[in-house]
């Protein structure tokens, strides 16, 4: 089994699928809550092999803009992970909020669909980056966390 996997999503597809979730507005706090789902591709290919979804809870308390992002990836080969990205951004602007997905995390595959599933119970270092029109997801197997 390979120890390195790289996927990407097109930001335009992600933005085109955005749904706004209504929130109650406070007099001293601005907020937004939205989610999206888009196809995910293996680097070097334009054929969808899974899906990435994320929801964004954004709160501006007057001092800072906090964004709590819940991320989920489901690849057809059995790689299924979710992780959280808490961050701050300059303003409640869509570009800044989506690019806040860029992070580094340790993720463990704890959902098993299908059998056999070589990913189940494996731990990966996940690096999320962007080059502008795409967001990339690099999964690298971490052997010492799988002992």
Q: What is the CATH number of the domain that holds 135?
A: 2.40.480.10
Q: What DSSP letter does each residue of 91-135 carry, written as one string?
A: SS-HHHHHHTT-EEEEEE-----SSS-TTTT-EEEEEEEE-SSEE
Q: Which domain holds residue 22?
A: 4-145
Under a CB-based contact definition with an 8 Å cutoff, are residues 78 and 48 in contact?
no
Do the bridges between strand 103-108 and strand 80-89 make them parallel or antiparallel, or are there none, so unpaired? unpaired
Looking at the structure of the chain, the number of domains it has is 1
Q: What is the pTM of this model?
A: 0.89
Could you count the other beta carbons within 10 Å of the beta carbon of residue 14?
21
Read off the pLDDT of each residue in 107-132 and give the average, rounded to a whole number. Answer: 89
> Which of 64-78, 81-95, 132-146 is the least confident region?
81-95
Task: Give the 3-state secondary structure of residue 3.
Answer: coil
């Amino acid at each position: 089994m390979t120890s390195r996997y790289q996927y990407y999503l097109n930001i335009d597809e992600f933005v085109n699928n955005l749904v706004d979730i209504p929130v109650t507005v406070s007099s001293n706090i601005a907020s937004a809550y939205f989610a999206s789902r888009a196809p995910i591709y293996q680097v070097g290919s334009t054929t969808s092999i899974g899906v990435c979804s994320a929801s964004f809870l954004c709160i501006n308390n007057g001092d800072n803009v906090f964004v709590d992002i819940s991320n989920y990836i489901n690849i057809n080969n059995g790689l299924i992970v979710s992780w959280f990205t808490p961050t701050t951004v300059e303003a409640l602007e869509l570009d800044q909020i989506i690019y806040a997905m860029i992070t580094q995390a340790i993720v463990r595959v704890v959902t098993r669909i299908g059998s056999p599933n070589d990913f189940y119970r494996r731990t990966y270092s996940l690096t999320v980056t962007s080059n502008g029109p795409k967001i990339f997801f690099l999964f690298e197997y971490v052997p010492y966390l799988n002992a």
